Structure 1
């Protein structure tokens, strides 16, 4: 029979072996390209969403107050600025993740 200490040691060793096998697995160029395309589409969607929401709010206010181009232009510009801000926050988040991964891999 196997002692509990031996069993725990074997489980730790097995876990460590699985981690090391996964770390050596190279990322294919196709997976990396799809990952980058996903990030690009995410940023485009965030920018377009800000502009569309700004357009909707501006058009609605212009319709209510009968001042057609004023609020439309103002809120489209504000929507664009909000979209760029969200894009920049997403880029910073992705950059922080990449730096954390690089630091984690460097420590091994």
Structure 2
């Protein structure tokens, strides 16, 4: 056997080890980024409630500032509700795109 043969085998072994390390790192990153369905649901609920509360607060503040009837309260609460729904829809679309990008093998592992 020549000296280049063990060197070639050693390089091939190092390449396999590096490939295995990269695959392991990729798998760990995927697990770190994975959100459960409950976490996704809570995120959407919080976005909705935040939109309504911010609208309510702004409307109440404007009504107190101008001394008007609760017209601003009603208007801004409705605007906050609409903003919350739009944010929820955007989040749902984001989660749907992430799930569509997942391979079928990953979907089988989750179930």
Distance 2:23 2:80 in 1: 50
Specify every segment of 5 or more residues in structure 2 that has no aligned partner in the other structure, as ranges.
1-5, 28-33
RMSD: 3.0
- List, as ranges, runs of 4+ consecutive aligned residues in structure 1 with deviation greater than 2 Å: 1-19, 102-106
Q: 2:11 aligns with which of 2, 5, 16?
A: 5
Q: Residue 26 of structure 1 corresponds to which residue in structure 2?
A: none
Structure showing greater radius of gyration is 2
TM-score normalized by the length of structure 2: 0.69
What are the within-5 Å matches in structure 2 for residues 4-83 of structure 1?
5-15=11-21, 18=24, 35-83=36-84
TM-score normalized by the length of structure 1: 0.71
Distance 2:53 2:92 in 1: 21
Distance 1:66 1:14, change over 3 A: same
* Aligned residue-pair number: 94
Q: Residue 90 of structure 2 corresponds to which residue in structure 1?
A: 89
Distance 1:104 1:82, change over 3 A: farther
Distance 1:104 1:13, change over 3 A: same
Distance 2:48 2:87 in 1: 8
Specify every segment of 5 or more residues in structure 1 that has no aligned partner in the other structure, as ranges.
23-31
